[in-house]
């Protein structure tokens, strides 16, 4: 359902129409394959873009453990940060090794479903392309997939089920356009973990505690994850 409000002024005529509509998006499972294809095409286009872009480079190890981690320690209660440390510390070195040598290029950098446009079931484009940082290609896929899993678990689905239901078609779609490089499949779980640590930090700084703790729940679950596409 929607609502509509009109307003007019005298003199210089201005007609203001405010429309509130409900936007329906395709289900995560039906969208994942299309998203994988589209992200791959976006990566191919950005890899050959001749235009200079003033942006930054995503260095995941520095971003996660040099920037977000100290802020998480400051923002979280000591007992909660200790629990987080126990989850992440055993896999920290593996995460850092997984980032080394990954193909790096211009990427979207904020690749969640809210920044992907659909017309019905047809994916029609991307928005929020104002930065296009340099980073690992798998960062976009890990961002999309981890955010999809958190949304599905909010609706009551088990995270492992959501991972299979979304992850397989996402990567099948990506591979239908371009191949994965050596090291990329093994990096997806560490990258998803990194994305949600970064988002937990972001949401805590914004005082959005429900979203922050949703990301932290993902981190505790994904710290034991060995999934590869």
Predicted local distance difference test score (pLDDT) of residue 12? 52
Predicted local distance difference test score (pLDDT) of residue 13? 52
Per-residue pLDDT for 8 more than 80? no
Predicted local distance difference test score (pLDDT) of residue 153? 95
**Distance from C-alpha of 186 to C-alpha of 201, rounded to nearest angstrom:** 24
**Closest by alpha carbon to 189, among 218, 156, 214?**
218
Q: What rounded mean pLDDT belongs to the chain?
A: 89
**Distance from C-alpha of 47 to C-alpha of 32, rounded to nearest angstrom:** 22
Per-residue pLDDT for 69 more than 50? yes
Per-residue pLDDT for 216 more than 70? yes
How many residues would you count in the chain? 229
Per-residue pLDDT for 10 more than 60? no
Domain boundaries, the chain: 24-222
Which residues lie below 8 Å from residue 20, measured CB to CB, with a gap of 6+?
2, 3, 4
**Distance from C-alpha of 106 to C-alpha of 118, rounded to nearest angstrom:** 23
Predicted local distance difference test score (pLDDT) of residue 52? 87
* 88/12: higher pLDDT: 88
Predicted local distance difference test score (pLDDT) of residue 182? 94
CATH 3.90.1200.10 for the 24-222 domain, yes or no: yes
The mean pLDDT of 113-128, rounded to a whole number, is 88
User: For residue 85, with 0-12 CB atoms within 10 Å meaning exposed, 13-18 middle and 19 or more buried, which class applies?
Assistant: middle
Predicted local distance difference test score (pLDDT) of residue 14? 53
Q: Tens digits of per-residue pLDDT, 138-174?
A: 999 999 999 999 999 999 999 999 999 999 999 999 9
Banded pLDDT at 53 (limits 50, 70, 90):
confident
Calculate the alpha carbon distances from 117 to 23, 28, 68, 153, 178 in Å: 11, 13, 30, 22, 22
Which residues lie below 8 Å from residue 229, measured CB to CB, with a gap of 6+?
167, 168, 170, 171, 180, 185, 188
Banded pLDDT at 11 (limits 50, 70, 90):
low
Sign of CA dihedral 183, 193, 113, 201: negative
Residue 113, SS3?
Answer: helix
**Distance from C-alpha of 16 to C-alpha of 69, rounded to nearest angstrom:** 47
**Distance from C-alpha of 138 to C-alpha of 102, rounded to nearest angstrom:** 8
């Amino acid at each position: 359902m929607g609502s509509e409000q009109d307003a007019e002024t005298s003199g210089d005529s201005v007609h203001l129409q405010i429309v509130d509509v409900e936007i329906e998006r395709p289900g995560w499972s039906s969208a994942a394959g299309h998203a994988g294809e589209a992200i791959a095409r976006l990566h191919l286009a950005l890899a050959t873009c001749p235009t200079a872009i003033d942006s930054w480079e995503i260095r995941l190890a520095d971003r996660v453990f040099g920037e977000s981690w100290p802020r998480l320690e400051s923002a979280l209660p000591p007992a909660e940060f200790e629990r987080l440390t126990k989850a992440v510390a055993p896999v920290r070195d593996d995460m850092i090794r997984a980032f080394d040598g990954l193909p790096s290029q211009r990427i979207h950098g904020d690749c969640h479903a809210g920044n992907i446009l659909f017309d019905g079931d047809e994916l029609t484009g991307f928005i929020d392309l104002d930065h296009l940082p340099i980073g690992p290609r798998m960062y976009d896929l890990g961002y999309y997939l981890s955010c999809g899993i958190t949304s599905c678990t909010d609706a009551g689905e088990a995270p492992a089920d959501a991972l299979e239901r979304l992850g397989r078609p996402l990567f099948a779609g990506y591979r239908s356009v371009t191949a994965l490089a050596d090291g990329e499949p093994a990096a997806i779980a560490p990258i998803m973990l990194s994305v949600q640590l970064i988002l937990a930090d972001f949401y805590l700084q914004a005082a959005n505690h429900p979203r922050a703790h949703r990301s932290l729940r993902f981190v505790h679950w994904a710290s034991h994850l060995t999934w590869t596409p």
